[in-house]
Amino acid sequence: MTDDTWQIGIIMSESGVTGAIERTQIMAVRLAIAEINAAGGVRGRRLQPVFRDPQSRPSLYRSSAQELCRDDKIRVIFGGHMSSTRKAMLPAIEAHNALLFYPTLYEGFEYSRHCVYTGAAPNQNSVPLVDYLHANFGSRIFMVGSDYVYPYESNRIVADLLRSKGGEVLDEIYVPLDLRAHHIARIIDRIRETQPDMIYSTVVGDGIIPFYTAFRDAGFDAQLMPIASQSTSEIDVARMPPGVADGHVIAAPFFDTLQTQAAQDFTRTFRIMAGAPLPATAPAEAAYLAVHLYAAALALAGDDDIDRLLPALYEVEVDAPQGPVRVDRLTNHTHLWPRVARIRENGPYEIVSHPTQRIAPDPYLVDVAGMSDQAAPFRFGAMRG
């Protein structure tokens, strides 16, 4: 291997409201880089990460992207968790003709030539989640989310999907990222008043744990009236008191307890890399497969310039822990394996919706039957390059 390296930027938080989940993404990136370098790197050159900790603050994601692209001349960046952080980074990345790998589920309805989305799009998590909830719990839903882009848009999509089945949204509440006891009390009071069949939560970050804990302490039964979420992960469950998470519902392409050989191999090596029993989350797996997709495309292109790297990226496929994945050339989103599970604290999560094949991304929900025009206001012609 030569002394020359491929430099990549990693903008992921180790602190702040999303620090816990993003630390699992950092660990997954470190694991992927270690695997690639141990195998000889890419074309004989090691991957060299340059890390920035934006502390869960969109302004620091923006300045970090600007510095990496402008000062360090880095062409490829991995990072962003909340949609507000992705949107903060993209102008700088686009201005410098760089490429962002965004490794987190999100609300859809976006395209940039300069962004590769390796987390789930709405048709890969919201659609199967609503199908399962409606079939098993009823049609009356209560919605709660953090006060920023993703919760508003994801709640809009889930509400419209459920209404297309004859469902009803009983209430929709938004709370600060810095969730306090009086915010939670308001949520619990409204759930008690409305008596929904299920709750859809887009609360993110540190507020997830006290919300779920208060839900249990209020006497609600998750087996009968679960909280369903795409933003709750194994790292959040691990931080909850015993019994709090059991029975609730989550949607993701990957779970830490997924019983396939590829998933088990990943979780085992992930824990070895972490040096602790740290759970591997879906955002961590999305970060891991993003680095491997990049390396496979780089090996084919021989150059990390976006004009050579992107065409190569559309030609490669990697065996990710969730299953084989690839990037769609029309949308820059990833073909994934969406799953829905009920949390079981004393064993593997119960997979209640398991794909028989991977699902192509449909970030604009063009092909989802029953979606109203209001829920799908954009078409591919509205994409910005």
pLDDT tens by residue, the chain, 385 residues: 667 999 999 999 999 999 999 999 999 999 999 999 999 999 999 999 999 999 999 999 999 999 999 999 999 999 999 999 999 999 999 999 999 999 999 999 999 999 999 999 999 999 999 999 999 999 999 999 999 999 999 999 999 999 999 999 999 999 999 899 999 999 999 999 999 999 999 999 999 999 999 999 999 999 999 999 999 999 999 999 999 999 999 999 999 999 999 999 999 999 999 998 889 999 999 999 999 999 999 999 999 999 999 999 999 999 999 999 999 999 999 999 999 999 998 889 999 998 989 999 999 999 875 443 333 332 222 222 2
Token pair 């900790």: residue: 53
Of 310, 297, 266, nearest to 47 (Cα)? Answer: 297
Termini Cα distance of the chain = 36
Rounded to an integer, what is the distance from CA 357 to the centroid of its chain? 20
Amino acid at 39: A
User: What's the fold here for domain 122-257+339-382?
Assistant: Rossmann fold (3.40.50)
Q: Which two tokens stand for residue 38?
A: 């141990």
Query: How far apart (Å, rounded) are the C-alpha atoms in residues 336 and 119?
Result: 8
How many beta carbons lie within 10 A of that of residue 49, not counting itself? 17
The strand pair at 339-342 and 350-353 is best described as: antiparallel
Would you give the DSSP letter of residue 156? H
pTM for the full predicted model: 0.93
Decide: 222 and 248 in contact? Cβ < 8 Å: yes
Would you say 183 and 175 are in contact if contact means Cβ atoms under 8 Å apart? yes
Q: List the beta bridge partners of residue 99.
A: 76
Quote the CA–CA distance of 228 and 200 in Å, as a whole number.
5
| Token pair of 173 as six digits | 């509440």
Q: What is the CATH number of domain 5-120+259-335?
A: 3.40.50.2300
Q: Three-class SS of residue 63?
A: helix
Ordered by start, the domain boundaries in the chain are 5-120+259-335, 122-257+339-382
